Amino acid sequence: MTMIRVALFLFLFCAPHFVAADAIRFTEIAEKAGIHFVHSTGARGGWHYIETMGSGCALFDADGDGDLDLYLVNGANLPGQPVRGSNALYRNDTDKTIRLTDITESSGAPGRGYGMGCAVGDADNDGDLDLYVTGYPENILYVNNGDATFKDASRQANVTAGGWSAGAAFFDFEADGDLDLYVVRYLTYDPAREPVCERSGVRTYCAPYRFRGAPDLLYLNSGDGTFEDISQRAGIADPRGKGLGVLSLDYDRDGDTDLYIANDTTPNFLYRNDGDRFTEVGLKAGVSTSASGRPQAGMGVDAGDVDGDGRTDLIVTNFSYESNAFYHHTEQGVFAEASARVGLVGPSTLPLGFGTHFFDADSDGDLDLFVANGHIFPNVSDFSSAESYPQTDQFFRNTAGVFEDVSESAGFTSPAVSRGSALGDIDTDGDLDLVVLVADASPHLYRNDTPPAHPWLIVEIEGANRSAIGTRVTLTAGGRTQSREVRSQSGYLSSGDSRLHFGLGDAEQIDRLDIWWPSGRTQTLSNLSPNQILVIGE
């Protein structure tokens, strides 16, 4: 039975009245909002490579009250150093202004070891959102009790992984209605056996080529609270990868979920879902290397239909002097590296990118782009005068398919060592806000203060897998069609709002909304009003 529930924002939109279009604008409000978390890399002069990578964050409804709470992952102090602070969970107590309350102590989800990333999904399919935290030397599955308190079920579920894990993604591999788990592993690593490295005679951190890669893991949900490691038979246990970011998507539109892995200094992977196993097709599809055929230092990854042609494009953030990679989906299953054509090569060559998101910041109907930047070498200016450790995050406005760097006017002006980032409507006002994890500092919370010049729609999906991960929704309004997919992860080591945001541009109503469920069912709704959160159940 189909369920539709509507939340109208009459306090903002008593009538379809909007102000004139204006520049996109974000305001940093982390301290004012009540965030006092400080991230720790654990760096104390030992030059341990793990200290360079930072951590991620998550925006999700931990307590089931309808708004987005915030989870922040922390690093750690390595053996022989002082004990680090914990991960943090903030409850969203927003009324008229964004207000976040630290509930870490009561949450039961402080983390352990060296925290890296997180993924959100309803692992036990009981109607609330669970949390998977990656890191070193093992990972944690926190099962939600439904009230923002969590139980550590890692060992019972058999998902501790071991080694150094980075990104992770919940998705329904077999389309059987429960969520499986993909874990990206980065390097074979032991901080007690750290090599010594220099650049131009200056001691600094080593590069990834000094370490061996580690095979990724695929855990199949058994439906009884446990998972089975099927990595080998599923075809994803490739030790050549040095993975960081992961993205679930149905790139070939065949109804199942594929996976894209951003690898650091080795070719990126595109795993095509063939039903009972994956086939790696990155090189064939054109998304494994740069335009010149060289592997790059892939960090974060996102996907979206940038040019409105109905096909999903990809963005991968890379190291300094590489530029971020934009892969344009030219035909079904084939991509072309088109960073220069869309205006990204120049502004993204010098910065070192991590978190990244396609999203419609001003609701004008096309996807803009955010990139979180920061170098990995604190002393980089000692051997490269053009570079700096803290860097300015970047915001690119989509102008007829070309990205225009409007970072300064959009409010991204403070250099920081940015890493993971998460996207979501924190204050429930119909536009998307940003949280950025900063290494060895407090995070940034960017409230979207762009004047409301266009109508919008937010779609919340509830499917057979209660998180509805893998569901695709297309919206047609004013002669334009947009497409979004529900997924559990975003950018670099992070997880954002799983609700789907659409900007309508100049359209005054939604002509058609089409839903493709992971089960194979389809659904169509017509003649919908904008400026609402629309909840749809399978």
The residues facing 373 across adjacent strands are: 353
**DSSP string for residues in 49-86:** GGGGS---EEEE-SSSSSS-EEEE----PPTTSPPPPP
Residue 71's contacts (CB-CB under 8 Å, 6 or more residues apart) are: 57, 58, 60, 62, 87, 88, 89, 90, 109, 118, 131
pTM of the model: 0.96
Report pLDDT for 22: 63
**Can you tell me the mean pLDDT for 477-497?**
96
Give the confidence band of 10 by pLDDT, cuts at 50, 70, 90. Answer: very low
Residue 172's contacts (CB-CB under 8 Å, 6 or more residues apart) are: 178, 179, 180, 257, 465, 469, 470, 518
CATH (domain of 142) = 2.130.10.10
| pLDDT, tens digit, 9 for 90 and up, residues 61-88 | 999 999 999 999 999 877 655 556 799 9
C-beta atoms surrounding 286 within 10 Å = 20
Report pLDDT for 39: 97
Q: Residue 107 — φ and ψ, nearest 5°?
A: -75, -30
For the cut 60, the answer to whether the pLDDT of residue 253 exceeds it is yes
Cα distance between the two ends of the chain = 7
Give the confidence band of 16 by pLDDT, cuts at 50, 70, 90. Answer: very low
Burial 34-64 (b: 16+ CB within 10 A, else e): bbebebbbbbeeebbbbbbbbbbbbbbbbbe
| pLDDT, tens digit, 9 for 90 and up, residues 123-138 | 999 999 999 999 999 9
For the cut 70, the answer to whether the pLDDT of residue 19 exceeds it is no
Give the confidence band of 140 by pLDDT, cuts at 50, 70, 90. Answer: very high
**Can you tell me the mean pLDDT for 134-156?**
98
Q: Which residue's entry shows tokens 């074979």?
A: 188
Convert 187-234 into a string of H (helix), E (strand) and C (coil). ECCCHHHCCCEEECCEEECCCHHHCCECCCEEEEECCCCCEEECHHHH
The C-alpha atoms of residue 327 and residue 344 are separated, in whole angstroms, by 11
Average pLDDT, the chain: 94
Report pLDDT for 380: 97
| pLDDT, tens digit, 9 for 90 and up, residues 316-338 | 999 999 999 999 999 889 999 99
Convert 492-521 into a string of H (helix), E (strand) and C (coil). CCEECCCCEEEECCCCCCEEEEEEECCCCC
Report pLDDT for 76: 87
The full length of the chain comes to: 538
For the cut 90, the answer to whether the pLDDT of residue 351 exceeds it is yes
Least confident of 40-44, 84-88, 478-482: 84-88
Number of domains in the chain: 1
In sign, the C-alpha dihedral spanning 424, 426, 430, 435 is negative
**Can you tell me the mean pLDDT for 300-312?**
96
For the cut 50, the answer to whether the pLDDT of residue 185 exceeds it is yes
Domain that holds residue 492: 3-537
H helices present in 88-189, as ranges: 104-107, 154-157
**Can you tell me the mean pLDDT for 481-487?**
97
| pLDDT, tens digit, 9 for 90 and up, residues 421-445 | 999 999 999 999 999 999 999 999 9
Give the confidence band of 96 by pLDDT, cuts at 50, 70, 90. Answer: confident
The C-alpha atoms of residue 393 and residue 470 are separated, in whole angstroms, by 29
Is the CB of residue 458 less than 8 Å from the CB of residue 475? no
* Percentage of the chain lying above the pLDDT 70 cut: 95
* Percentage of the chain lying above the pLDDT 90 cut: 91
For the cut 80, the answer to whether the pLDDT of residue 208 exceeds it is yes
**Can you tell me the mean pLDDT for 475-493?**
95
Is the CB of residue 299 less than 8 Å from the CB of residue 310? no
**Can you tell me the mean pLDDT for 12-22?**
45
Q: For 207-210, which contacts have Cβ atoms below 8 Å and span 24 or more sequence positions?
A: 207/265, 208/242, 208/264, 208/265, 208/297, 209/265, 210/49
For the cut 80, the answer to whether the pLDDT of residue 4 exceeds it is no
For the cut 70, the answer to whether the pLDDT of residue 194 exceeds it is yes
C-beta atoms surrounding 416 within 10 Å = 24
| pLDDT, tens digit, 9 for 90 and up, residues 226-243 | 999 999 999 999 999 999
User: From edge to edge, which strands make up the β-sheet containing 3-8?
Assistant: 3-8, 532-537, 456-462, 500-503
| pLDDT, tens digit, 9 for 90 and up, residues 389-410 | 999 999 999 999 999 999 999 9
Give the confidence band of 220 by pLDDT, cuts at 50, 70, 90. Answer: very high
Q: Which residue's entry shows tokens 């910041």?
A: 361
Give the confidence band of 9 by pLDDT, cuts at 50, 70, 90. Answer: very low
